[in-house]
Amino acid sequence: MKKWILFFPVLFLMFFHAATTHAVSNQPIHWGFKKGANEQQADAGERYDKLLEKYGAFYKGSPEEKILYLTFDNGYENGYTAKILDVLKKEKVPAIFFVTGHYLESAPDLAKRMADEGHIIGNHSWSHPDMTQISDAKIKMELAKVKEATEKVTGQTNMQYLRPPRGILSERTLKVAQEEGYVHVLWSLAFKDWQINQQKGWKYAYDNIMAQAHPGAVILLHTVSKDNADALEKVIQDLKKRGYIFKSLDDYMLKEKVKNPIMTH
| Number of neighbouring beta carbons within 10 Å of residue 82 | 14
Q: Among residues 119, 214, 222, 230, which one is catalytic?
A: 222
pLDDT tens digits for range 126-166: 999 999 999 999 999 999 999 999 999 999 999 999 999 99
What is the tens place of the pLDDT at every residue in 22-72? 589 999 999 999 999 999 999 999 999 999 999 999 999 999 999 999 999
- The model's pLDDT over 78-118, given as tens digits with 9 standing for 90+, comes to 999 999 999 999 999 999 999 999 999 999 999 999 999 99
Domain boundaries, the chain: 35-264
Superfamily of domain 35-264: Glycoside hydrolase/deacetylase (3.20.20.370)
238 is catalytic: no
Which one from 73, 193, 227, 230 is the annotated catalytic residue? 73
Per-residue pLDDT at 257: 59
Does pLDDT of 263 surpass 70?
no
- Residue 124 is a catalytic residue: no
Which pLDDT score, from 0 to 100, does residue 8 have?
45
pTM: 0.89
